Amino acid sequence: MAEADVLGDEFAGAFEHAFARLRCEVEAACADTAKRDRPVRVAVGVKTAFAFAAAHPDATQLLTNETLAHGGERGVVLYQRMISYFASLLISARDPDSDEQGRSTVVEEATVGGVALLVGRRLACNRESELPAIACEAIQFILTPWVGIERARQIANEHCGTAAS
Amino acid sequence: MRLDWAGEQPSTRPPFFLPSLAGTMANESRHPGLDRTALAGDDRQRWRAAGRLAPPPVSADHELRRRLTAAWAESIAVRGYSRTTVQHLVDSSRISRSTFYDNFGSKDEAFVAIHTDALASLGMHVTVAAAAEPTWPRKVTSGLAAALEVAAGRPQEARLLVGDLFGAGPRMGYCHDLLLARFTPGLAAGRRSNRAPPLPSSLETALLGSLIGIVSSRVHSGVGDTLPALAPSMTEFILAPYLGVEKAKRTAGVLSAEAP
């Protein structure tokens, strides 16, 4: 095995397993809200992801901190694939009738990366119990570029009830 | 346009955490071909471009840190933080094991030292860029542009600064906390100077995390030189929670048009 390929197959398999579980939960939650407004679907997806992180801190720790800290180049590739996946979900939720279609996709990548850091920091400090509370802030953070500050806070409050006020 | 580095000289004074290496490296015989008085190539050119005739000798501290920065960046990319050993570092940086341990107690200590240096350098460039601007949106715009220029021009330092270290233990997570703490106040000033509505307490951490993620992905992919081109989009993204989406868009557009 090349030295660059230090992330063993067992670790990579565990990553894929955890990623698949998270993806299934988020996609199922979003499917249940398929007929609702896209900001609501995004909010439900974010809340579900944070609930997953709180319920499965080991798996989420593996998806975030451990993969990057131990994985070298392969770990970065796996991590970026996860970021790209969630960014693609946000991109697919863009309003086709607005000027959002012409925007740079770096915004979605940035928002997902920011939320991943929020989650990773909590897990690194064994503060996963705080995750459901900051889900509300994450919803507001993610939605603001698309629906504005007030609407983002309103939606976040409807789903979690603790947005900044 | 790249930042002008001409005025940046390597420090000749050892930082508080790094004892002087004078004499230590002079006695090092493993790599006799090394020019210990030379500036790094790029710095030397910048020095000459600024019209200075005689580049000053670089301190042994600077040379050691430069080599360790490169060694750490390479090793993190190849192995990750946790699997990097002191042997990897001394092999890659071509310093002796004894020199390493004369100056650092462990690989963690060496990392903290060069991470602190890189953060201080980045902070200086961002602060200088922001200080020249009269308003908060302009300070953010210029500071962000400077940060992206630094990351593009110094990918090894960028990799050390934005690499995810939480999984490597609390001490390394502390380095990340320093990075966030360094730039959070500058962003948070937007809460009071722009009559912003109530905002999430974690907003600045999330915004900086977004920036870290973007820089990290580009540097790891070997396309760090594309980072400055993202400045307009990232400026709009960062200003939006404070100014509102439309005003952020207008502000970023105006400031981008003014940029050289």
Average pLDDT over residues B189-212: 84
Nearest CA to A77 among B11, B250, B67, A85?
A: A85
Nearest CA to B176 among B187, B167, B184, B164?
A: B164
How far is CA B33 from each of CA A149, B30, B69, rounded to the nearest angstrom?
Answer: 60, 9, 20
Could you count the other beta carbons within 10 Å of the beta carbon of residue B192?
Answer: 10
Q: Which residue carries 């990340």 as its tokens?
A: B176
Average pLDDT over residues B79-88: 86
pLDDT per residue as tens, chain A (165 positions): 444 445 577 888 999 999 999 999 999 998 887 777 888 999 999 999 999 999 999 999 999 888 877 766 788 889 999 999 999 999 888 877 777 667 778 999 999 999 998 998 888 888 888 898 899 999 999 999 888 888 999 999 988 765 555
| pLDDT exceeds cutoff 80 at B56 | no
CB B149 within 8 A of CB B126: no
pLDDT of residue A71: 67
Q: What are phi and psi of B15, to 5 degrees?
A: -65, 165
Residue of B nearest to A130 (CA): B202
DSSP state, residue B20? -
Within 8 A of B82 by CB-CB distance, chain A residues are 69-70
Interface test with A, best of B84, B165, B166 (most A CBs within 10 A): B166
Shortest alpha-carbon distance between residue A79 and chain B (Å): 10
CB B49 within 8 A of CB A39: no
pLDDT of residue B13: 32
> Which residue in the set B167, B205, B220 is minimally distant from A76, CB to CB?
B220
> Which residue in the set A68, A113, A137 is minimally distant from B209, CB to CB?
A113
DSSP state, residue B83? T
3-state secondary structure of B96: coil
Within 8 A of B163 by CB-CB distance, chain A residues are 68
Q: Read off the pLDDT band of B17 (50, 70, 90).
A: very low
Average pLDDT over residues B162-183: 75
CB A109 within 8 A of CB B209: no
Nearest CA to B145 among B245, B255, B8, B249?
A: B255
d(CA B18, CA A125): 29
Interface test with B, best of A141, A154, A160 (most B CBs within 10 A): A141
| pLDDT exceeds cutoff 60 at B99 | yes
> Which residue in the set B83, B197, B216 is minimally distant from A149, CB to CB?
B197
| pLDDT exceeds cutoff 90 at B19 | no
Half-sphere exposure of A18 (CA within 13 A, CB side): 24
Tokens, residue B12: 């000749």
Shortest alpha-carbon distance between residue B87 and chain A (Å): 15
- Which of these ranges, B30-44, B95-109, B137-151, B183-197, has the smallest mean pLDDT? B30-44
Question: Per-residue pLDDT tens for B225-242?
Answer: 999 999 999 999 999 999
Is the model's pTM score more than 0.80? Answer: no
Q: Read off the pLDDT band of B195 (50, 70, 90).
A: low
Could A114 and B245 be called an inter-chain contact, meaning their C-beta atoms sit closer than 8 Å? no
3-class secondary structure for chain A? CCCCCCCCHHHHHHHHHHHHHHHHHHHHHHHHCCCCCHHHHHHHHHHHHHHHHHHCHHHHHHHHHHHHHHCHHHHHHHHHHHHHHHHHHHHHCCCCCCHHHHCCCHHHHHHHHHHHHHHHHHHHCCCHHHHHHHHHHHHHHHHHHHHCHHHHHHHHHHHCCCCCC
pLDDT of residue B200: 87
Q: Which percentage of chain B shows pLDDT scores above 90?
A: 37
More confident of the two residues B94 and A164: B94
Could B163 and A138 be called an inter-chain contact, meaning their C-beta atoms sit closer than 8 Å? no
Shortest alpha-carbon distance between residue A71 and chain B (Å): 5
| pLDDT exceeds cutoff 70 at B85 | yes
How high is the ipTM of this complex? Answer: 0.85
- CB-based contacts of A37, cutoff 8 Å, min separation 6: none
Residue of B nearest to A122 (CA): B166
Nearest CA to B219 among B209, B210, B227, B230?
A: B227
d(CA A14, CA A22): 12
| pLDDT exceeds cutoff 80 at B49 | no
Could A109 and B244 be called an inter-chain contact, meaning their C-beta atoms sit closer than 8 Å? no
> Which residue in the set A4, A106, A137 is minimally distant from B200, CB to CB?
A137
Average pLDDT over residues B97-119: 89
DSSP state, residue B81? T
Average pLDDT over residues B166-192: 81
d(CA A126, CA B195): 35
How far is CA A128 from each of CA B28, B179, B193, rounded to the nearest angstrom?
Answer: 49, 22, 33
Q: Which residue carries 């308003």 as its tokens?
A: B135
